[in-house]
Amino acid sequence: MAARSLLMLLLLIPAAPLMAADPPAFVAEPAPRITVSGSGEATAPAARANLTIGIETQGDTAAAAGAHAARLADAVTGALRGAGLPAADLKSTHLTINPQWVYDEHTHQRRRTGFQADTTLMIDTAGLDKLGTWVDAALNAGATNVSDPGFAPADETALRHLALARAMQNARGDAEVMAVAAGGTLGALLQVNTGEEPSLPRPVMRTFAAAAVAAAPPTNIVPGDIHLSATVTGVWRYIAGAGK
Q: 99 has which bridge partners?
A: 115
CA atoms of 37 and 130, how far apart (whole Å): 42
Give burial (CB, 10 Å; 0-12/13-18/19+) of 130. middle
The pTM of the full predicted model, rounded to 2 decimals, is 0.71
- Are 124 and 89 contacting, i.e. CB atoms less than 8 angstroms apart? yes
DSSP the chain: -HHHHHHHHHHHSPPPPP-PPPPPPP-PPPPPEEEEEEEEEEEEE--EEEEEEEEEEEESSHHHHHHHHHHHHHHHHHHHHHTT--GGGEEEEEEEEEEEEEEETTTTEEEEEEEEEEEEEEEEES-GGGHHHHHHHHHHTT--EEPPPEEE-S-HHHHHHHHHHHHHHHHHHHHHHHHHHTTSEEEEEEEEEEEEEEE----------GGGTTTSPPP-----EEEEEEEEEEEEEEETT---
pLDDT band of residue 92 (cuts 50, 70, 90) is: confident
Q: Which of 84-88, 90-94, 110-114 has the highest mean pLDDT?
A: 84-88
State how far the Cα of 148 lies from the Cα of 50, in Å rounded to an integer: 9
Q: Do 31-46+154-244 and 48-152 agree at the fold level?
A: no
CATH class of the domain defined by 31-46+154-244: alpha beta
Cβ neighbour number for residue 238 with a 10 Å cutoff? 19
Backbone angles phi, psi at 102, to 5 degrees: -130, 155
Residue 13 clears pLDDT 80, i.e. is over it: no
Contact 117, 65 (CB under 8 A): yes
Q: How far apart are CA 54 and CA 207, in angstroms?
A: 11
Nearest partner of 240 among 193, 183, 191, judged by Cα = 183
Mean pLDDT of the chain: 84
Give the residue extent of every domain in the chain: 31-46+154-244, 48-152
pLDDT above 70 coverage of the chain, percent: 78
Which pLDDT belongs to residue 96? 95
Q: Are 25 and 211 in contact (CB under 8 A)?
A: no
Is residue 206 over pLDDT 60? no
Each residue's pLDDT tens digit, 26-67 = 556 678 999 999 999 999 999 999 999 999 999 999 999 999
Q: Which CATH superfamily is domain 48-152 in?
A: Protein of unknown function (DUF541), domain 2 (3.30.70.2970)
Residues 137-190 have pLDDT tens digits of 999 999 999 999 999 999 999 999 999 999 999 999 999 999 999 999 999 999
- Structure confidence at residue 109 as a pLDDT band (50, 70, 90): confident
Residue 75 has pLDDT above 70, yes or no: yes
More confident residue, 243 or 228: 228
| Positive or negative: CA dihedral 26, 31, 32, 36 | negative
